[in-house]
């Protein structure tokens, strides 16, 4: 099977023009098939504030009401997505900007909540990779905004990490997929204050040991559990690392954390 | 050659949820290959006002400055485009939302102005139909926002009528293309106050007669000239009519104005 990289970047890169530009250069230089999934960033909050759209929270969780889904459709699906595509085109990477709505690639279901309606939030039901296969054949690089749809005319807000892992799992039927989460640390750290304490390699045995030795911080555990879930579902490996180390992290000179079965 | 429809709608439809919904139902029911090109609408101006982005004009022409290109990228490329795509998906039309930036389909050049810099406005240089051909083979319907790019990382604002005609001309090499402009009148009228005065058929001979007889209003002349330019460049026919008559206008029961060579 051919190699394929599914790479996710978050707000910390998107909000910093210099970091984003450096990241996109590194991303564009990857010669294997690849997908970029981007999250939002401060720009959505800032634009929302200017438009007088209040961020509403219930029990600490953001509500995606009518105004908010329009806001993220504009900012994620329009501004951030198309700016990234234009920059990749300038780096000779033939990118195409997409949401899950486009060509029905990611169909989701509006989440049913028991007590509170959190709004236009979607849980992924199906991923159709047929068009993605054609894009890879033509050396076209999909760039996904974190939006899906319900097939009934509604756009839904779906977590970018989840979109990345769902795409990776669906594509693992036909490709050897490496799923890369770029985040604000160099990798999984044993000591949160020491960037040199990256755990370079984790498999299930090692993870059990780290848990027993209580060497990991609670905040990172869900990320590792999600990585194992993706691997169990067919993904070859998950890499957690800093966006600025992308080139090294997909090579033998890995600076981040490589997670395998 | 197979039939293909390139259909353009403007702000008067986009700003009216009921009209837009009815139009999209009619559009979705077209069984031939088709492309939708949409313009902006009041929502861009309203969003701009809320964001404190002033509409700036020099000599009656809008300036697309940095703030404005971001605004239209959000509103045209994100909000309007993806909402249309989601609604078409609900009508079982497998739509994909695009700008000229995506997959480098429409490359443009920032317009060079002699006296005044009108900003991020693009004149189309090349249209690449290779990916569009694949979409049509797979029964995928492209929906274009009126944005292009310069290949140097910049998104450009390009008139939606021009995008529609450029796509139509480029596709006329491989399809029998009908280019349909939906606008706010039933067609080319002999009497602007009388919607029943539609000129049903115009060719170059008839146009010369209408001009001699001074039966046309000056405002419609550029539209007709542009229609003939598209026809001279290979488009089979141009139809100018009301969005609500789309179904009739692409059939033998044409209610609008059919323009041919």
Q: What is the ipTM of this complex?
A: 0.95
Are the beta carbons of B135 and B144 closer than 8 angstroms? no
- Taking only the tens of pLDDT, chain A with its 261 residues reads 999 999 999 988 999 999 999 999 999 999 999 999 999 888 998 999 999 998 888 877 778 999 999 999 999 999 999 999 999 999 999 999 999 999 999 999 999 877 778 899 999 999 999 999 999 999 999 999 999 999 999 999 999 999 999 999 999 999 999 999 998 899 999 888 888 999 999 999 999 999 999 888 888 898 999 999 999 999 999 999 999 999 999 998 889 999 999
Report the pLDDT value the prediction gives residue A113, as an integer from 0 to 100.
77
Report the pLDDT value the prediction gives residue A118, as an integer from 0 to 100.
84
Q: Name residues whose C-beta falls within 8 Å of residue B258's C-beta, 6 or more positions apart in sequence.
A: B200, B201, B202, B237, B238, B239
Are the beta carbons of B74 and B81 closer than 8 angstroms? no
Which residues does chain B have with pLDDT short of 50?
none
Which tokens in the block code for residue B173?
Answer: 């090499």
Report the pLDDT value the prediction gives residue B64, as an integer from 0 to 100.
93
List of chain A residues whose C-beta atoms are within 8 Å of the C-beta of residue B99: 82, 85, 97
Q: Hey, are the CB atoms on A81 and B76 less than 8 Å from each other? A: no
Are the beta carbons of B260 and B237 closer than 8 angstroms? yes
Report the pLDDT value the prediction gives residue B95, as an integer from 0 to 100.
98
Report the pLDDT value the prediction gives residue B39, as an integer from 0 to 100.
92
Of B70, B95, B101, the CB nearest to A89: B101
List of chain A residues whose C-beta atoms are within 8 Å of the C-beta of residue B86: 101, 149, 153-155
The sign of the dihedral angle between the CA atoms of A158, A159, A163, A169 is negative
DSSP H helical ranges for chain A = 11-14, 17-28, 42-50, 66-74, 81-90, 130-137, 160-171, 204-212, 221-232, 246-249
Helices B221-232/B204-212 angle, 10° precision? 160
Gap between the Cα atoms of B221 and A105, Å rounded: 43
Continuous segment of H or E residues that includes residue A98:
strand A95-98
pLDDT digits (tens, 9 = 90+) for B213-239: 988 888 889 899 999 999 999 999 999
Are the beta carbons of A256 and A227 closer than 8 angstroms? no
Gap between the Cα atoms of B31 and B18, Å rounded: 23
The contact set of B with A (CB < 8 A) is 47, 50-52, 70, 73-79, 81-83, 85-87, 89-90, 94-99, 101-104, 130-131, 134, 138, 140, 147, 149, 151-155
- DSSP state, residue B153: S
Count of pairs with CB atoms under 8 A, one residue in A, one in B? 128
Q: Hey, are the CB atoms on A147 and B102 less than 8 Å from each other? A: no
Report the pLDDT value the prediction gives residue A11, as an integer from 0 to 100.
87
Q: Hey, are the CB atoms on A78 and B77 less than 8 Å from each other? A: yes
Are the beta carbons of B108 and B122 closer than 8 angstroms? yes
Report the pLDDT value the prediction gives residue A61, as an integer from 0 to 100.
76
Of B51, B78, B131, the CB nearest to A78: B78
Return the residue of A nearest to B46 by Cα.
Answer: A51
Q: Hey, are the CB atoms on A74 and B78 less than 8 Å from each other? A: yes
Gap between the Cα atoms of A160 and A38, Å rounded: 6
Tokens 């299930």 sit at which residue? A204
């Amino acid at each position: 099977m051919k190699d394929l990289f599914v790479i996710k970047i978050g707000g910390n890169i998107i909000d910093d023009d210099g970091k984003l530009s450096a990241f996109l250069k590194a991303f564009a230089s990857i010669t294997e098939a690849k997908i970029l999934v981007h999250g939002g960033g401060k720009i959505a909050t800032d634009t929302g504030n200017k438009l007088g759209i209040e961020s509403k929270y219930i029990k600490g969780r953001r509500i995606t009401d009518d105004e908010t889904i329009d806001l993220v459709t504009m900012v994620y699906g329009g501004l951030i997505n198309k700016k990234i595509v234009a920059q990749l085109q300038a780096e000779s990477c033939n990118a195409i900007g997409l949401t899950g709505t486009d060509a029905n690639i990611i169909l989701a279901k509006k989440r049913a909540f028991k007590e509170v309606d959190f709004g236009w939030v979607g849980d992924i039901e199906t991923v159709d990779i047929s068009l993605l296969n054609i894009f890879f054949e033509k050396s076209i690089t999909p760039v996904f905004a974190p939006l899906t749809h319900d097939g009934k005319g509604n756009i839904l807000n779906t977590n970018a990490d989840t979109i990345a892992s769902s795409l990776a799992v669906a594509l693992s039927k036909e490709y050897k997929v490496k799923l890369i989460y770029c985040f604000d640390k160099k990798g999984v750290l044993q000591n949160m204050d020491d960037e040199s304490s990256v755990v370079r390699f984790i498999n299930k045995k090692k993870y059990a040991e780290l848990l027993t030795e209580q060497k990991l911080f609670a905040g990172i555990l869900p990320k590792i559990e999600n990585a194992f879930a993706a691997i169990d579902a067919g993904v070859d490996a998950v890499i957690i690392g800093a966006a600025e180390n992308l080139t090294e992290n997909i090579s033998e000179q890995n600076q981040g954390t490589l997670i395998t079965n």
